[in-house]
């Protein structure tokens, strides 16, 4: 899977968090890592051609470096070949893996039904905001001890929000159902539209998933400093929030944009 340099930063943040939560995992009898958009498990930097581990391989290998390796790694993807490749790579790295082919909105049910009591960490890394169905978050949140790290495509929101606001259906509906009724975009300056959508999405996280959004939401930009996505961390407890706020990329490396 070809990616830009920003993908590497995402994996650094993920791996720093997995590392920092090692002590917390070690206190649980069972811990899981869940990636329902796993891809083939390997990425190639489009410019440098360097081959690197994808998100789930990065997370597993970091967890296995010391105390608190994940007890189980669940992977899924719509693309069966990607799932096979990712599973092979995880098995080669000695990961206890369970794999599923299918749309995340279906595989999430299968995975949730298999989860024993424990501490769970879900990583949602879809290509676009359209695939970030809010139902996924709601279903994952039915586990009491779970935290969720989300690739939230700011670029998709920015590209579509103005045009979609007046349509009867939109590519942004699944991620934040009801946004077109809730937001008064016609009276807001354009530069505040994405921020308003994100704020509404966060209100759904609190009301429907009963989870909190961590303060550190690093923004990743492309070579022209155009916004791509934020990494957003959800949890229910102070410790994971603190760990994420400290582990995610330092604020100095993030961009100052109005959303």
Ligand X SMILES: C[S@@+](CC[C@H](N)C(=O)[O-])C[C@H]1O[C@@H](n2cnc3c(N)ncnc32)[C@H](O)[C@@H]1O
- Residues forming contacts to ligand X in the complex (CB under 6 A) are 1, 35-39, 43, 54-55, 77-79, 82, 103-104, 125-127, 131
**DSSP annotation of 190:** G
**Least Å distance between CB 120 and ligand X?**
17
Q: φ, ψ for residue 173 (rounded to 5)? A: -70, -45
For ligand X, the closer CB: 37 or 201: 37
For ligand X, the closer CB: 54 or 69: 54
**Least Å distance between CB 254 and ligand X?**
20
For ligand X, the closer CB: 24 or 78: 78
What's the CA gap between 37 and 125, in Å, rounded? 6
Alpha helices in the chain (DSSP H): 6-20, 22-26, 55-63, 80-92, 104-114, 134-140, 154-164, 179-182, 193-208, 238-247
**Least Å distance between CB 229 and ligand X?**
10
What's the CA gap between 147 and 208, in Å, rounded? 15
For ligand X, the closer CB: 76 or 183: 76
What's the CA gap between 180 and 156, in Å, rounded? 16
Q: Which residues pair with 98 in a beta bridge?
A: 74
For ligand X, the closer CB: 157 or 183: 157
**Least Å distance between CB 148 and ligand X?**
14
Point out the residue whose Cβ comes nearest to ligand X: 54
**Least Å distance between CB 93 and ligand X?**
14
Q: How far is CA 194 from CA 128, 129, 159, 217, in A?
A: 15, 13, 9, 14
Degrees, nearest 5: CA angle 127-58-155: 25
**Least Å distance between CB 243 and ligand X?**
20
For ligand X, the closer CB: 12 or 182: 12
């Amino acid at each position: 899977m070809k990616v830009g340099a920003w993908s590497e930063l995402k994996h650094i943040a993920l791996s720093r968090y997995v590392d920092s939560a090692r002590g917390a995992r070690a206190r649980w009898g069972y811990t899981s890592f869940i990636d329902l958009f796993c891809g083939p498990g390997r990425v190639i930097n489009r410019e440098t051609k360097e081959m690197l581990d994808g998100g789930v391989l990065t997370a597993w290998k970091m967890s296995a470096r010391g105390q608190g390796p994940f007890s189980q790694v669940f992977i899924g993807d719509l693309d069966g070949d990607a799932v096979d490749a990712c599973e092979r790579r995880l098995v080669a790295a000695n990961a206890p893996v369970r794999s599923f082919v299918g749309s995340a909105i279906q595989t999430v049910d299968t995975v949730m039904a298999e989860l024993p009591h424990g501490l769970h960490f879900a990583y949602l890394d879809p290509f676009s905001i359209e695939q970030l169905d809010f139902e996924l978050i709601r279903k994952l949140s039915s586990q009491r001890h779970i935290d969720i790290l989300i690739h939230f495509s700011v670029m998709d929101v920015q590209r579509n929000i103005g045009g979609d606001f007046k349509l009867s259906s939109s590519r942004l509906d699944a991620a934040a159902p009801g946004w077109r009724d809730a937001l008064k975009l016609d009276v807001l300056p354009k530069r505040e539209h994405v921020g308003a959508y994100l704020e509404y999405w966060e209100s759904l996280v609190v009301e429907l998933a009963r989870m909190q959004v961590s303060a550190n939401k690093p923004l990743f930009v492309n070579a022209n400093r155009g916004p791509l996505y934020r990494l957003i961390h959800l949890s229910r407890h102070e410790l994971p929030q603190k760990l994420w706020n400290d582990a995610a990329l330092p604020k100095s490396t993030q961009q100052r944009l109005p959303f």
